[in-house]
Chain A
Amino acid sequence: MKLIAAAVCFAGAVALHAAEDRYLPKPAVDRPELLYVRSPETARRVVLRYQGIAADLYWIRAIQHFGEEHLSPPSHVRTYALLYPLLDLTTTLDPYFSIAYRFGAIFLGEQYPGGPGRPDLAIALLKKGLAAQPAKWQYMQDLGFVYYWHLRDYKTAASCFERAADIPGAPNWLRPLAAVTLAEGGQRSASRTLWEQLAQSDEDWLRDSAKLRLTQLDAMDTIDALHARVDRYRQQHPGQPVTWERLVAAGLLPGVPLDSSGAPFVLDPATGYITVARESKLFPLPGQIQAPQ
């Protein structure tokens, strides 16, 4: 009898929990006020000697926060407000947590709305990593990528690659990369060389990120080729709006062009400007959209 009563009460608790979720849904994304411990130094002391597992928990929370914001509905204004504080907590608790620095920097530098578009914070995180582990040439290399890709500061990027190459154990392709960056900075071929190197990384997620960048560069090449067709159409039909259907009808294209993720490219009929669609996995291309201030 007591067992049945206990089971009924337990089932009641589960049912109430489910009902609460249905009628009083929890916020879909993290809010800044939900980060109770903001000071990494305080967190380090509070967790006593369990910094490793505490850092793991904050890392999981950082990934979840990034994922929740990244996949949030269009009605939600993505701020990624907790991303840097969570990564800062993670790396203070475990100063050797390489992936938190390296992938954290990618998260932070990612252009809005795919990420917060904060290369400054990505740089701060990587510099913190270098302070903890000066022998990690990978952090210096990543720093170079942030300067190159997000800030287009090719001189500083080249200097970072050069300094990474000076660190014992660094691969021998870093020094030529510094030279290429300095000589051809801003050119797509140099970007491709950079990302091809990162695509050789041992880390799965870094490799995937580099592959996405390479696919974006392919899309930019395709867009250039499409722009040439659009220009030809506009020369032949001055003053007329340009659409994919018209280009196909004019025999300039075999069909509506799709990017590698299967989404059609977007063409502005008035200006002839081409880019990837918002629903494309390649969105946004570098410089395509700015984060809200």
Chain B
Amino acid sequence: MNAARCVAIAVFRESVRDRVFYNLLFFAVLLVGASILIGQLTAGQDIKIIKDLGLSATSLFGLFIAIFVGISLVSKEVDRRSVYPLFAKPIRRSEFVVGKYAGLLLTLLANTIVMTVAIYLVLFFLSRGVPDGVRKAWDAPALDPALLKAIALIYVDIALVTAIALFFSTYSSPMLSAVFTLGIYVAGQFNTDLRRFDQIVSSPVAAAIGKGLYYVLPDFARFDVKLAVVHGIPVSGTYVLLATAYAAVYIAALLFGATLLFSRRDFK
């Protein structure tokens, strides 16, 4: 796995070189700008809105990086033919795939950590000096540690998206990989509808297909606890653990699949 670690570090360095982290600057400007403006616009809902904005932006920026960097992780190396000298070295294709995935995950982790710190800093400055009477009206404290649960699940969510993007990247063009990944991501939002498909169709076959898709497609809605956390609705540790375990198993399946597809590709 030493080779995989080297690939991962190389991916991380490449992200820095490709100025992926410039999004953090945009994120900071967005949060600080919003925190100045929204106090005037939102009838005392600034803490709630900064939480919503911070969590949504963390999720959205992470998603864009996961998809648009993830889809070219492998295909770029193949197109540039840089895989040829790489495979001449003692590195297995599975190590290459896992290393690429781990590298992007590391980039996303650094990104998410900086965004989390930025959210808490803005919340800290916004909540300073707020009278106790006003604090009592908030659904949850400004510096609520439960926000970390939502952020952890956002990270799990984008880790799964990265795995999907990487899976398609091993055998398809970046454009098609982006379309497939986005398609699965959007379909995965409506899983609950697929489960209840039998209530709106009369055909038992269609209902069975709907139910089958419900279990096969990744259930992205499972990772969304943003609303609950912002409103102080408890999210149990067990829920977070189970959702993470579900994602881990799904990611493992995708990585095995990606490794298998990539191993069978003929680069001669």
- Mark contacts of B31-43 with chain A using CB atoms, 8 A cut-off: 1 yes-contact digit, 0 otherwise: 0000000100111
Q: Is the CB of A205 within 8 A of B43?
A: yes
Q: Is the CB of A202 within 8 A of B136?
A: yes
Main secondary structure on B side of the interface with A: helix
Query: Which residues of A are found within 8 Å of B235, using beta-carbon distances?
Result: none
Given contacts A49-B220, A202-B134, A202-B136, contact A56 B45 (CB under 8 A): yes
Q: Is the CB of A63 within 8 A of B224?
A: no
Count, chain B residues at interface, CB 8 A: 31
CA distance in complex: A48, B52 (Å)? 14
- Mark contacts of B222-240 with chain A using CB atoms, 8 A cut-off: 1 yes-contact digit, 0 otherwise: 0010110011010000000
CA distance in complex: A103, B42 (Å)? 12
* A-B pairs under 8 A by CB, number: 64
Q: Is the CB of A49 within 8 A of B134?
A: no
Q: Is the CB of B224 within 8 A of A96?
A: no
Identify the closest chain A residue to B48 (Cβ): A56
- Mark contacts of A83-115 with chain B using CB atoms, 8 A cut-off: 1 yes-contact digit, 0 otherwise: 000000000001010110001000000000000
7 further A-B pairs in the complex, CB-CB below 8 A; given A52-B51, A202-B137? A52-B52, A52-B226, A53-B49, A56-B42, A56-B48, A99-B45, A204-B134
**Residue B72, interface by CB 8 Å:** no
**Residue B242, interface by CB 8 Å:** no
Shortest Cβ distance from residue B152 to the other chain A in the assembled complex, whole angstroms: 15
A residues with a Cβ closer than 8 A to B are: 45, 48-53, 55-56, 59-60, 63-64, 94, 96, 98-99, 103, 201-205
**Residue B118, interface by CB 8 Å:** no
Between A and B, 15 residue pairs with Cβ closer than 8 Å are: A50-B56, A52-B55, A52-B56, A53-B52, A60-B38, A63-B42, A63-B43, A64-B41, A96-B139, A96-B227, A99-B44, A201-B137, A202-B137, A205-B43, A205-B44
Given contacts A45-B190, A52-B55, A60-B42, contact A98 B139 (CB under 8 A): yes
CA distance in complex: A239, B117 (Å)? 77
B residues with a Cβ closer than 8 A to A are: 38, 41-45, 48-49, 51-53, 55-56, 59-60, 133-134, 136-137, 139, 186, 189-190, 220-221, 224, 226-227, 230-231, 233
Q: Is the CB of B43 within 8 A of A99?
A: yes
Identify the closest chain A residue to B185 (Cβ): A48
Identify the closest chain A residue to B232 (Cβ): A96
CA distance in complex: A59, B43 (Å)? 9
Query: Which residues of A are found within 8 Å of B190, using beta-carbon distances?
Result: 45
Identify the closest chain A residue to B225 (Cβ): A49
Query: Which residues of A are found within 8 Å of B60, using beta-carbon distances?
Result: 50
Query: Which residues of B are found within 8 Å of A51, using beta-carbon distances?
Result: 227
Q: Is the CB of B224 within 8 A of A49?
A: yes
Given contacts A49-B224, A63-B41, A204-B134, contact A56 B49 (CB under 8 A): yes
Identify the closest chain A residue to B41 (Cβ): A60
Given contacts A59-B45, A103-B43, contact A48 B186 (CB under 8 A): yes
CA distance in complex: A109, B28 (Å)? 40
Q: Is the CB of A202 within 8 A of B133?
A: yes
Query: Which residues of B are found within 8 Å of A55, using beta-carbon distances?
Result: 52
Query: Which residues of A are found within 8 Å of B41, using beta-carbon distances?
Result: 60, 63-64
Q: Is the CB of A53 within 8 A of B139?
A: no
Shortest Cβ distance from residue B46 to the other chain A in the assembled complex, whole angstroms: 10
Query: Which residues of B are found within 8 Å of A103, using beta-carbon distances?
Result: 43
Query: Which residues of B are found within 8 Å of A205, using beta-carbon distances?
Result: 43-44
Of B38, B136, B224, B227, chain A has the most CB atoms within 10 Å of the CB of B227
CA distance in complex: A52, B57 (Å)? 11
Identify the closest chain A residue to B54 (Cβ): A53
Q: Is the CB of B231 within 8 A of A96?
A: yes
CA distance in complex: A292, B85 (Å)? 79
Query: Which residues of A are found within 8 Å of B38, using beta-carbon distances?
Result: 60
Identify the closest chain B residue to A203 (Cβ): B137
Shortest Cβ distance from residue B73 to the other chain A in the assembled complex, whole angstroms: 24
CA distance in complex: A225, B45 (Å)? 41
CA distance in complex: A205, B224 (Å)? 31
Shortest Cβ distance from residue A27 to the other chain B in the assembled complex, whole angstroms: 20
Given contacts A56-B49, A56-B53, contact A48 B227 (CB under 8 A): no
Top 5 closest A-B pairs, CB basis? Answer: A202-B137, A52-B52, A96-B231, A53-B56, A49-B224
Shortest Cβ distance from residue B239 to the other chain A in the assembled complex, whole angstroms: 16
Of A51, A63, A94, A96, chain B has the most CB atoms within 10 Å of the CB of A96
Query: Which residues of B are found within 8 Å of A45, using beta-carbon distances?
Result: 190
Q: Is the CB of A94 within 8 A of B227?
A: yes
CA distance in complex: A204, B138 (Å)? 11
